[in-house]
A and B are shown apart, each in its own frame.
Chain A
Amino acid sequence: MITTLLIIHALLAVTLLGAITHQAVSVWLPAPAASGSFVTRFRAVPGTSYANAVVLLYAATMTLGAIIYPTYRVTVRIMLEQLRMNAANGLFELKEHFAVIGLLLLPAYWYFWRKPLDPSQQTTRAGLTTILALIVWWSFIVGHILNNIRGFGS
């Protein structure tokens, strides 16, 4: 059961990673139209249309993470402590705190991705999106590293 939830958690995280990365790139390097090279098309997505999906995906990924966290706490973390893998433990500690910061800024993120946006609030929208993107990337990479340390079936 936990393995199934962990896989769904990872799949949701991949989807979230794609959505927030598209949006972050579009807010920093907007392209006028979805034509031309792959990179131009990547930049040209309408970021506003991603906001609701990002909020829902973030909430769902976080909820699943919270459900499987006790299993991590009583199995993986204790093993990491016994092996003195302090850096790996620290990476996860940061992940859990960063993920909460991301959760708490979702209402503001959602609000500043509504249309129409006051041009004076463009920096706030970019700042919120960047922080959220960094948190999602950090969480994804750290989750992947820890899963490699204490992988499936070990």
Chain B
Amino acid sequence: MTLPRALPVFAVTFAGAAALFYLAAVEYNLALFTYHPLTKQFEFLAAPQRSGPAMYWYGWIATAGLGGAAAGLLATFIPGPWAKRLWTGLAWVVPAFVILAFLYLLRVYFLR
């Protein structure tokens, strides 16, 4: 199977950008939709809880996926010589940074 040459550029950019989009979505509650588990209802964008808790996790994933895909697609338009300079390590260094950021942001759970 032959893969398009743009695939590594898309994959590396998507991994890094989507992780950053996810971090931003959680921190600023940029959920694409909200799920209300008790009433089994979906609502567009981040909505407050109604009867029972509201779940934003699915919406955060959707935001990150769309944001990462958009960034990845944009990156595929980078001219070849420039695209070759893209450091593939971004695919794991950025997610590693996001993991550390979550450890820092959620430290309050372990300090109280």
Contact = CB atoms under 8 A, between A and B. Distances in A.
Interface of A: 66, 69-71, 73-74, 77-78, 86-87, 89-91, 93-94, 96-98, 100-101, 103-105, 107-108, 110-112, 114, 121, 123-124, 127-128, 130-131, 135
A108 B11 contact: yes
Q: How large is the interface on B (under 10, 10 to 19, 20 to 34, 35 or more residues)?
A: 35 or more
B22 to A, nearest CB: 6
17 contacts: A69-B57, A70-B37, A86-B112, A89-B109, A90-B108, A90-B109, A97-B102, A98-B102, A100-B61, A104-B65, A105-B91, A105-B92, A107-B11, A107-B14, A108-B92, A111-B7, A127-B91
A28 to B, nearest CB: 14
Q: Is the interface of B mostly helix, strand, loop or mixed?
A: helix
Interface string B6-18: 0110111011001
Q: Is the interface of A mostly helix, strand, loop or mixed?
A: helix
B109 A86 contact: yes
Contacts of B3: 111, 114
A135 B19 CA distance: 14
B46 interface: no
Contact of A74 (B19, B37, B91): B37
Contact of B19 (A93, A105, A112, A124): A105
B109 A121 contact: no
B37 A104 contact: no
B81 interface: no
